[in-house]
Chains A and B, each alone.
Chain A
Amino acid sequence: MKNAPTAYLITCAVIGVAGAVLLAPANWLSTAVFAAAPFAAVAIAGLWLLPAVIAMRLLQRPGAGLLVGLISGLVIMPFSGYGYASIATNLWWAFFAELAFLLVGYQRWWTWLHYAGAAILGIVYPLLAWVSFDLGSLSTPALIGFFALTLASVLAATAVGILIADRLAKAGVARGVRPKRRWGVPAGDGPAGQH
């Protein structure tokens, strides 16, 4: 990370700020929905994954997801009121966008690895939430809904993140930062007249 180009760091910052703009209202929406129907709140849980997925897909560099999570956590602080807890939350979700790539040592950038990381999150998150939300006390349909919605939400967010990142790559942004040989998507020429 110490030798990372400044353009890479700043690109992550931009994606992090965009994520914070998205998450500031989502944060309140999920609090309100959780109060009414606890299992329905996880339907938008995937949004927390989205900025990190975009960064990992677009930049294909180790640490991009976590850096984006840190930045969006910092920027969202005044809007959420949760202080350092916002940073911890965002880092925690971003970690799962990185996890699958970490497991293959950042040597492969197959598209399905994004989905694999999201699927791990879709299973791990409800299990960890079990204790804090006391899910054992919920009725069985509510419980199945909780698991299914979490999984659907994170997988959908991953698909949207990949779509946005590929569109950005096609538009030719962040070309100096991305590795020369990209996995998955064509490099993209950028708008006419740019090269």
Chain B
Amino acid sequence: MAEHVGRTDARRRAALPSASRTSSSGSSPSSARRSAPLERLNPLTKAAGPLPATVMLVLVRDLATPAAFIALALLLLLLGARLDRRNLLFLALVPAIVLTTGTSLSLWADPARFEETAALLRIGGWTLHAGALETGFATGLRLGAITALALLSGLTTSGPDVARSMVQQLRLPYRIGYTALAAFRFLPRFGHELEVIRQAHRVRGAHAGRGPFAAIARWLGTIVPLLAGAIRHGERVAMAMDARAFGAHPTRTERHVLRWRAVDTAAVLGFWAVSAALFLTVPALAG
């Protein structure tokens, strides 16, 4: 019996060469096209690599170090991520965060603290000091750098793959991991349910009327029925899973295998080394 199953499996794999390739390359199993270099890394690699730098960046106060990390992260993303419109939009977000946050924080800063630094701008009784601008942009650059490092995993990893790698590499109990995988399937269901509730409300004339307040009342009126309906749907899904003996065994076979390969270890160690080098050399070079 087992032999027979094995042979069928082998035959199926021979018929579908692309399926076996994606599962062994460790990339997103759902994508048939050739994936970008960063997408082929294990999801945990892209979390573990930038993690020490992210923590350290919270504590730095200069301008050059976060700027260097923004450059590093953007360079890696330009080389290693798929450059479609959505991803390019996210990349443009980083300089936008730096500029707007830096400007507004220097405006909100306490002017009394920076009185001895040079005055850059004078409007009436209010003065923008160089010190306030520097502090504001240090924070803006820092937040931009933390965002850029988060984008390394955010733009190259799918949610289901993170859930799978948590089960396969981090040994999260698979019942929780598969609960997360089921959760992704609830999203379209929510849209359908919402439409049904709206129609029911409209038929009964609930929260009728025009204007923003009626719209808010309509929106609030959908929350409880939407959640109640979704939880009831979830209970039926759970019953169906139980009927198929979900969780009957301590382990289970995975349909999509994500591997931790030598290149993942190398990527994490490499990123740590570059981070350490930047933290050690950049402030000295800039200072």
Write the residues of chain A forming the contact surface with B, with a CB cutoff of 8 angstroms: 1-2, 4-7, 9-18, 20-21, 31, 34-39, 54, 67, 70-71, 74-75, 77-78, 80-87, 131-134, 137-140, 142, 164, 167-168, 171, 173-174, 176-177
Interface with A: B12-20, B151-159, B264-272, which one? B151-159
Interface centre among B109, B142, B163, B235 (most CB of A within 10 A): B235
Chain B residues whose CB sits within 8 angstroms of the CB of A139 once the complex forms: 108-112
Q: Categorize the interface residue count of chain B.
A: 35 or more
The 9 A-B residue pairs whose C-beta atoms are closest, nearest first, are: A83-B153, A83-B154, A35-B100, A84-B47, A85-B150, A13-B183, A7-B238, A139-B110, A14-B234
Q: Contact between A78 and B159 (Cβ–Cβ < 8 Å)?
A: yes
Give the docked Cα–Cα distance between A67 and B163 (Å). Answer: 13
Please tell me which one of the listed residues A5, A6, A138, A167 contacts residue B109 in the complex, with CB atoms under 8 A apart: A138
Query: Does B162 lie at the interface of the complex (its beta carbon under 8 Å from any beta carbon of A)?
Result: yes
Chain B residues whose CB sits within 8 angstroms of the CB of A132 once the complex forms: 58, 142-143, 146
Chain B residues whose CB sits within 8 angstroms of the CB of A131 once the complex forms: 58-59
Give the docked Cα–Cα distance between A108 and B19 (Å). Answer: 51
Query: Does B32 lie at the interface of the complex (its beta carbon under 8 Å from any beta carbon of A)?
Result: no
Chain B residues whose CB sits within 8 angstroms of the CB of A9 once the complex forms: 175-176, 179, 238
Q: Contact between A10 and B150 (Cβ–Cβ < 8 Å)?
A: no
Q: Contact between B108 and A6 (Cβ–Cβ < 8 Å)?
A: no
Query: Does B283 lie at the interface of the complex (its beta carbon under 8 Å from any beta carbon of A)?
Result: no
Q: Contact between B110 and A84 (Cβ–Cβ < 8 Å)?
A: no
Query: Does B37 lie at the interface of the complex (its beta carbon under 8 Å from any beta carbon of A)?
Result: no
Q: Contact between A37 and B108 (Cβ–Cβ < 8 Å)?
A: yes
Please tell me which one of the listed residues A21, A34, A174 contacts residue B231 in the complex, with CB atoms under 8 A apart: A174
Query: Does B226 lie at the interface of the complex (its beta carbon under 8 Å from any beta carbon of A)?
Result: yes
A–B Cβ pairs within 8 angstroms, 26 of them = A2-B173, A4-B175, A6-B241, A6-B242, A9-B176, A14-B227, A14-B230, A14-B231, A18-B226, A20-B187, A21-B187, A21-B190, A34-B101, A36-B100, A81-B150, A82-B150, A83-B152, A83-B154, A84-B46, A84-B153, A84-B154, A85-B54, A131-B59, A132-B58, A139-B112, A164-B223
Q: Contact between A37 and B183 (Cβ–Cβ < 8 Å)?
A: no
Chain A residues whose CB sits within 8 angstroms of the CB of B143 once the complex forms: 132-133
Q: For chain B residues 177-230, which have a beta carbon within 8 Å of chain A?
A: 179-180, 182-184, 186-187, 190, 223-224, 226-228, 230
Distance (Å) between the CB of A1 and the closest chain B CB?
Answer: 6
Give the docked Cα–Cα distance between A22 and B162 (Å). Answer: 21
Q: Contact between A82 and B242 (Cβ–Cβ < 8 Å)?
A: no
Chain B residues whose CB sits within 8 angstroms of the CB of A31 once the complex forms: 97
Chain A residues whose CB sits within 8 angstroms of the CB of B230 once the complex forms: 14, 17-18
Residue of A nearest to B226 (CB): A18
Chain A residues whose CB sits within 8 angstroms of the CB of B112 once the complex forms: 139
Give the docked Cα–Cα distance between A126 and B151 (Å). Answer: 25
Chain A residues whose CB sits within 8 angstroms of the CB of B239 once the complex forms: 6-7
